[in-house]
Structure 1
Amino acid sequence: MDLPVMPPVDPMLAKAVPEIPAGQHYEPKWDGFRAIVFRDGDEVEIGSRTTKPITRYFPEVVASALRELPERCVVDGELVVTNADATGLDFEALLQRIHPADSRVQQLARSTPAAFVVFDLLALDGEDLTGRPLSERRALLEEAVPGGGPGVYLTRTTTDLAEAQEWFETFEGAGLDGVIAKRTDLTYQQGKRAMTKIKHQRTADCVVAGYRVHKNDEAAVGSLLLGLYDDEGVLASVGVTSSFPMARRRELFAELQEWVTDAADHPWTAQAQASGTRTPREAESSRWNAGKDLSFVPLRPERVVEVRYDHMEGRRFRHTTQFSRWRPDREPETCTYAQLEVPVRFDLGEVLAG
């Protein structure tokens, strides 16, 4: 492979801001795997956000790149997988695509194929474009990449703030994650948080049903384990919150000792997990957690905390939540899924159609 921009490339990143800034270039924020695709004739390489090659896991994306990208180019984008009826994104299915067995990789490529959504052009033919402004890179990208699928799509863009705000409010229903804002004069800056991202922020009251000990201090809390009650009154594990300074982690460890209970008396026993209850150890056998200790200290589910979160992935929080405050005024039994805001469904096809 001989391109003007060679792997590895450290992708340009975004920093979070609370509101969509005016006077910029806007794109939907896709919820997938960030990827840089390099094509030089018959050679294709896919680099991850951490710059590691992930080409072997996505043979169908290699085929799409050979079919739908220019012969010599480097493009930045997002690998995504749609749900069964192709109306939204399915991040859980995307996670399953990283598998060590080639036979499984090939089977998943057929059953849950990934698509590549392109949003930037780093090189074309023999020219390095990273020093050019975004406005020029985008114009060249639109000329070079048809982007209509079936394997490679060109992300939608707008410079209309009102339209970007509408995307922020509606596209979440198709599984998207917010809005990205970029200055039109922005050059491509590897590894720098030179763009901005605007994500949904919501709050939820959750039961604190356990904690994990901090990896560097056995007398400090690493994370609090959160639960919500389902319609049958079963407490399900929904995620963690862990945004505490070290001094506060030690204080929490001491404060929580009076709530520590026997594992056999806790809602998240091995038997409960076997019967279908979501517990913090559910992902223990996942290859993503190979060798990771997912044990926890069980607490009587009596304390309630308010946390900030962006969105749900199925029945759990998609990302680590942010601690907001304790809620001594709330009864644990009132912490149910019913309190959560459910985005109005929006067809992914309308987002991809541009």
Structure 2
Amino acid sequence: MAKKNSQWVQVGKRNVELSNLDKVLFPEDHVLKAEVIEYYLKIAPTILNHIKGRALSFIRFPDGIHGESFYQKNKPDFAPNWVEFETLGKEEKDYIVATEPALLVWLANLASLEFHQLHSRKPAFDKPDYMVFDLDPPEGYDFKKLKPIAFDLKEHIEQFGYTPFVKTTGGKGLHICCPLEPQQGFSEVFDAAQAIAQPFVESLGEQTTLHIKKEARKGRVLVDIYRIRSGQTIVSPYSLRGRVGAPVSMPLTWEELEDLDNPKVFNIQNAVDKVLKDGDAWESIGAYAVELHTHRKEKTSKAKKLGPSKKHKTPEQLETYSKKRDFEKTPEPVANIITGSNNNFVVHRHHASHLHYDLRLEKDGVLKSWAVPRGLPPRPGVKRLAVQTEDHPMEYLTFNGSIPKGQYGGGEMWIYALGKYQVTKEKKDGFYFRLNSKEMTGEYRMHKTKEKEYLLERVDEPQLDYINKFIEPMLTESSDEPPKGDDFIYEIKWDGIRALIAYEEGKLTIHTRNQNDVTKQFPELLDGEKAFRATNAVFDAEIVHLDATGKPVFKKVINRLMTSGDAAIQKISKTTPCYCYIFDCLYLDGRSLLNEPLMKRKDWLRDAVRGDTAYRVSEFVDDGEALLNAAREHGLEGIIAKRKDSKYLPGKRTDCWYKIKLRQSAEVVIIGYTKGKGDRSVTFGALHIAERVGDELHYRGKVGTGFDDSTMKDIFTTIKKVNTTKRPDVIGTLLDPKVSVWLEPKIIAEVSYAKLTPDKMFREPVFMKLRPDISEVG
């Protein structure tokens, strides 16, 4: 029988019944059940990365957060038959196992606001894959006092060889989780956690305690290690909490924690936006898994000779590998079988006779290998051919190098991703597996179609679609001179249109920094297959037109931008051709490069861009002064300095990138003009300009030079299309108000100047150009 006020929706391949969507679950925050469902559906790709395969318990709030709530472990009898469960614990509860977005929607429809997870993952439900320390302060405890304890505990834990990850609990505390190889049981992990926590608490006896009873804590912070016991849970990353404010348990980087004053600032309204902007701070947590420190054995690099057994084959399994190689000519590792943990993987980007990727999974002392011509699929629905090749020795996990020409597989081979993997499901025709690495995380299926041929497809949906989601370009600070030291490289500042180039499966799109799609304006740049060694990629670049001397001409590239009509665009592309100088690679063949250091991104960029096309790699040098002098000699704008180890920070302006111009300039808003006299009577006398500082516009005076007749007519045509206003909303005293026409702040221009005057006006301003390629000053 259908529920009252119900409707059916399709989520993936499931039909889910939803009811009472207008029920208010967070009264103070006016959050409806429909919004809770929407939140869990939007955050599904990220939260499932952490909870998929885990047994869950959940707290239901059928009448909202102020009504009766209850903690549920058992799968309800009315659960759909597609809901997976696992019978666990002494009580033999049927725990629901997290699987897919439809499950999150179904649970949210039951007003399950909070998801709590057991510490193990399918198929090893009896072995935790992390150790957790719950910092639980008393009521009213100052969060600023809790943070130093967290950082001290982090340093203490690191001494035992773990990598701690931190998240808010959605309440007043913090969770510190240390990823583990799931090899020992709960009691062994608890003993190890206790051995770590005991000396730490003793060293901070006045601030921390291990006493679980509140009356024994005496105002101290509980370092709760007791949650790691069998049957205990913690609130899942990105789970809501049933509290006023609709807070979220938010994974953070340690740098973010340092700047955090209130752990409850993350909530249902901003959590998804934070992930889309900053990424998942815990995305690569599985790649840092290590053995429990109490069970580690001394590592040895010696190869083991293994006799025949059901688990390990004899060295003949590497015989094919050996026969294809001359180890006196190739730097590749020799054919040794080495015992390992059976969960390591590597993906190589391999320039052999054809560019391809090699996926290698550790099993029985060797690396099972597949050649994947077009790289790992970036999302569900994309399938890749994967051809199984000969087994490779374990040393190939860390092999980066060049195989000489004439040798089998000759060419460059780079590590594309390196980490841990887990087979999540065995099938007759293949298997499912999860990859966890610093470079990429995802779940895939290997489906056998012929003796050596497979189809590789991605199972999980990534939260961020880098190809189809606009990435805001990283911004620069300004400097009067190149920074000192060896930490920077230097590039020409190209005078053109900043562009983000997205390429996928033969299709190429071009967007300006204000997200305008200008793809059709530049037909000479659309042959991505010829230009790139990639299946999909995102590049940061500058589109320019060059004169006969090789100098950029901004006005002509803007003419290209403003030309309309297919015939006219085709014609001007022949008479005024443009080139694209690429200076950064943000995404390549299924993985983000944003967190790679700049010099590594430069390596990927050089490898991904072919020569002899309209696309060119923007070169760099180590001598900033010499490049600045060369720019001055050739009449260029200036140079860019970039820190070698800098990450790519979308939309952010930091001290990692500097622009050094030969004359100071600024992007400004035209907020009005004075009426012209004499030769300028049909246009204007001078332009009133303002510069954006934060969220405010600061008046910078008037600019009346730098124009020729043609430029003035173009500018006047543009400003006549903008609405007038009585007085612009700017900071500063406006000049010549009685003879001026004020405009809405819509038009962006670039102006050079000598310096700022004491009253914050531009001294000796000179008009340079209109900037129709950007819509806001930043």
Q: State whether TM-score is above 0.5.
A: yes
> Which residue identity lines up with residue 157 of structure 1 in the other structure?
F
Matched, 1:95 2:527: no
Query: What is the alpha-carbon distance in structure 2 between the residues aligned to residue 102 and residue 151 of structure 1?
Result: 20
Matched, 1:9 2:441: no
Selected match of 2:637 from 165, 174, 177:
177
**What residue in structure 2 maps to residue 291 of structure 1?**
721
SS at the partner of 2:709?
coil
Cα deviation code 1:38-59 (max 9, x no counterpart): 1112200111111221111111
> Which residue identity lines up with residue 167 of structure 1 in the other structure?
L
Deviation, 1:91, is 0.7
SS at the partner of 2:579?
strand
Structure number with higher relative contact order (C-alpha < 8 Å, ≥ 6 residues apart): 1
Cα deviation code 1:255-299 (max 9, x no counterpart): xxxxxxxxxxxxx9xxxxxxx96287411475x5561379xx899
| Matched pairs, number | 260
Matched, 1:242 2:689: yes
> Which residue identity lines up with residue 714 of structure 2 in the other structure?
A
CA contact 2:586–2:593 (8 Å) conserved in 1: yes
Deviation, 1:112, is 0.7
CA contact 1:32–1:80 (8 Å) conserved in 2: yes
Deviation, 1:249, is 6.6
Query: What is the alpha-carbon distance in structure 2 between the residues aligned to residue 38 and residue 278 of structure 1?
Result: 38
Q: 1:325 to 1:2 in 2, by over 3 A?
A: same
Q: Within 5 A, what are the aligned runs for 1:201-216?
A: 201=663, 215=671
Query: What is the alpha-carbon distance in structure 2 between the residues aligned to residue 197 and residue 225 of structure 1?
Result: 35
Deviation, 1:155, is 0.8
Q: 1:61 to 1:318 in 2, by over 3 A?
A: same
SS at the partner of 1:78?
strand
Deviation, 1:87, is 2.7
Deviation, 1:124, is 1.1
Q: 1:128 to 1:93 in 2, by over 3 A?
A: same
Cα deviation code 1:307-343 (max 9, x no counterpart): xxxxxxxxxx9635466569xxxxxxxx9x9xxxxxx
Q: Which structure 2 residue ranges, 5 or more long, are not aligned?
A: 1-376, 380-464, 678-682, 725-735, 740-748, 759-763, 767-778
Deviation, 1:122, is 0.7
Q: 1:122 to 1:111 in 2, by over 3 A?
A: same
> Which residue identity lines up with residue 644 of structure 2 in the other structure?
T
Query: What is the alpha-carbon distance in structure 2 between the residues aligned to residue 62 and residue 95 of structure 1?
Result: 18
Q: 1:239 to 1:179 in 2, by over 3 A?
A: farther
Percent identical among aligned pairs is 24
Query: What is the alpha-carbon distance in structure 1 between the residues aligned to residue 684 and residue 632 of structure 2?
Result: 23
**What residue in structure 1 maps to residue 647 of structure 2?**
187
Query: What is the alpha-carbon distance in structure 2 between the residues aligned to residue 226 and residue 240 of structure 1?
Result: 10
Q: 1:109 to 1:19 in 2, by over 3 A?
A: same
CA contact 1:180–1:198 (8 Å) conserved in 2: yes
Matched, 1:72 2:532: no
CA contact 1:88–1:173 (8 Å) conserved in 2: no
Matched, 1:109 2:573: yes
Normalised to the residue count of structure 1, the TM-score between the two structures is: 0.61
**What residue in structure 2 maps to residue 258 of structure 1?**
none
**What residue in structure 2 maps to residue 137 of structure 1?**
601
**RMSD, aligned α-carbons:** 4.4
Which structure has the bigger radius of gyration? 2
Deviation, 1:187, is 1.0
Matched, 1:278 2:709: yes
Query: What is the alpha-carbon distance in structure 2 between the residues aligned to residue 136 and residue 86 of structure 1?
Result: 32
Query: What is the alpha-carbon distance in structure 2 between the residues aligned to residue 96 and residue 5 of structure 1?
Result: 30
CA contact 1:243–1:322 (8 Å) conserved in 2: no
> Which residue identity lines up with residue 5 of structure 1 in the other structure?
Y
Q: 1:199 to 1:81 in 2, by over 3 A?
A: same
CA contact 1:16–1:198 (8 Å) conserved in 2: yes
Normalised to the residue count of structure 2, the TM-score between the two structures is: 0.29
Query: What is the alpha-carbon distance in structure 2 between the residues aligned to residue 285 and residue 108 of structure 1?
Result: 24
Query: What is the alpha-carbon distance in structure 1 between the residues aligned to residue 609 and residue 738 of structure 2?
Result: 54
SS at the partner of 1:282?
helix
Q: 1:166 to 1:113 in 2, by over 3 A?
A: same
Query: What is the alpha-carbon distance in structure 1 between the residues aligned to residue 643 and residue 554 of structure 2?
Result: 28
Q: Within 5 A, what are the aligned runs for 1:123-134?
A: 123-134=587-598
Query: What is the alpha-carbon distance in structure 2 between the residues aligned to residue 292 and residue 173 of structure 1?
Result: 39
CA contact 1:24–1:181 (8 Å) conserved in 2: yes
Q: 1:284 to 1:30 in 2, by over 3 A?
A: closer
Q: 1:187 to 1:226 in 2, by over 3 A?
A: farther
Deviation, 1:198, is 0.8
Q: 1:277 to 1:28 in 2, by over 3 A?
A: closer
Query: What is the alpha-carbon distance in structure 2 between the residues aligned to residue 110 and residue 280 of structure 1?
Result: 24
Query: What is the alpha-carbon distance in structure 1 between the residues aligned to residue 639 and residue 710 of structure 2?
Result: 32
Q: Which structure 1 residue ranges, 5 or more long, are not aligned?
A: 204-213, 216-221, 228-235, 254-267, 269-275, 301-316, 327-334, 338-354
**What residue in structure 1 maps to residue 188 of structure 2?**
none
Selected match of 2:503 from 39, 64, 69:
39
Query: What is the alpha-carbon distance in structure 2 between the residues aligned to residue 127 and residue 68 of structure 1?
Result: 20
Q: 1:249 to 1:21 in 2, by over 3 A?
A: closer
Deviation, 1:224, is 7.3
CA contact 2:489–2:624 (8 Å) conserved in 1: no
Deviation, 1:196, is 1.3
Q: 1:52 to 1:290 in 2, by over 3 A?
A: farther
Matched, 1:61 2:493: no
> Which residue identity lines up with residue 168 of structure 1 in the other structure?
L
CA contact 1:239–1:321 (8 Å) conserved in 2: no
Query: What is the alpha-carbon distance in structure 2 between the residues aligned to residue 320 and residue 293 of structure 1?
Result: 26
CA contact 1:284–1:292 (8 Å) conserved in 2: no
